Amino acid sequence: MHDVALVDWSRAQFALTALYHFLFVPLTLGLSFIVAIMETIYVKTGKEEWKKITQFWMTLFAVNFALGLATGIIMEFEFGTNWSNYSWIVGDIFGAPLAVEGIMAFFMESTFFAVMFFGWNKVSKKMHLLSTWLVAIGSNLSALWILVANGWMQHPVGMVFNPDNARFEMDSFWDVLFNPNAYSKFLHTVGSGYVIASLFVVGISAWYLLKGKEVVNARKSLVVGATFGLITSIFLVLSGDESAHEVALHQPTKLAAMEGVYDGKSREGIIAVGVLNPEKEIGDENKEFLFKIEIPQMLSFLGFH
């Protein structure tokens, strides 16, 4: 019989590790592309102020990248230490995209990160620019493969159960790779990272402007960050809508739990603000919420429009 307390502590430890890791991931996803855009402007124009701007944001990116790397490695170990039985049962499927992420995406971004950060005046401008773009692409490819694994956990496809060894085995790699749940999550995750990075750049640039320091460079950084953020925020809204559709389609019980719906119905409203009733059970007469502000029919519209 399993120790419930041990499972709870394992969940708590993994959740805490994931929380700290994801403090740095979104900024890595977005800031890498912003730095690449800034360096592209430098190479195109040849203006030294753009080189200075690029190096400033590249330094902040490097610090964030290192912290994300350190916290991410711990999570990899916890798959084996905290969830060894799970890893054994579904490892043939779950481990495949993680292995591809390590071999392809992580190696690529790590290799070219060294060229990007230490290669100023040692390689040509075009080679350095290519390295910066490959770091950005590699960072986002890492997110893709990790979210392919996560998408499979949310919506398992491309697998068969082998009764001889009591394990799940991959039946179709392409079904796992092109899982629609994975791609909706990937697009929304990277979109949120782009918006967060743009706000990061805009915020720091605005602080420099308020202090009257590096005004010209701060203004140029602000323009790049704000433009990038405006474009990606539209993408974020669209990808979030698609992600909600996938949850409603494949995980209706999860959607009901997220929204505090005990007894579903057509034209379900969404709770904008509410306090759940802890005494409520499925099928009883107690109210679902002690207090709520509801938008009528909106949950059904958002999930199935």
Cβ atoms of 195 and 30 within 8 Å: the answer is yes
Sorted by sequence, the CB contacts under 8 Å of residue 247 that are 6+ apart come out as 254, 255, 258, 303
**21-62, pLDDT tens digit by residue?**
999 999 999 999 999 999 999 999 989 999 999 999 999 999
pLDDT of 273: 86
Between CA 185 and CA 176 the distance in angstroms is: 14
**251-305, pLDDT tens digit by residue?**
888 888 888 787 777 888 888 888 887 777 777 777 778 888 888 888 888 878 7
Checking phi first, is residue 282 left (phi over 0); if not, alpha (psi -120 to 50) or beta? beta
Q: Is 169 exposed, middle or buried (0-12, 13-18, 19+ CB in 10 A)?
A: middle
pLDDT of 2: 59
Q: Is the pTM of this model over 0.95?
A: no
pLDDT of 49: 92
DSSP-based three-state secondary structure for 1: coil
Higher local confidence (pLDDT), 246 or 29:
29
Domain map (residue ranges) of the chain: 4-250, 258-304
- The whole-number average pLDDT for the span 211-225 is 91
DSSP-based three-state secondary structure for 260: coil
Mean pLDDT of the chain: 88
pLDDT of 195: 96
Between CA 93 and CA 128 the distance in angstroms is: 37
**116-156, pLDDT tens digit by residue?**
989 898 999 999 999 999 999 999 999 999 999 999 998 89
- The whole-number average pLDDT for the span 221-240 is 93
Q: Would the pLDDT of 226 be above 80?
A: yes
Q: Would the pLDDT of 238 be above 70?
A: yes
**83-99, pLDDT tens digit by residue?**
888 888 988 888 888 88
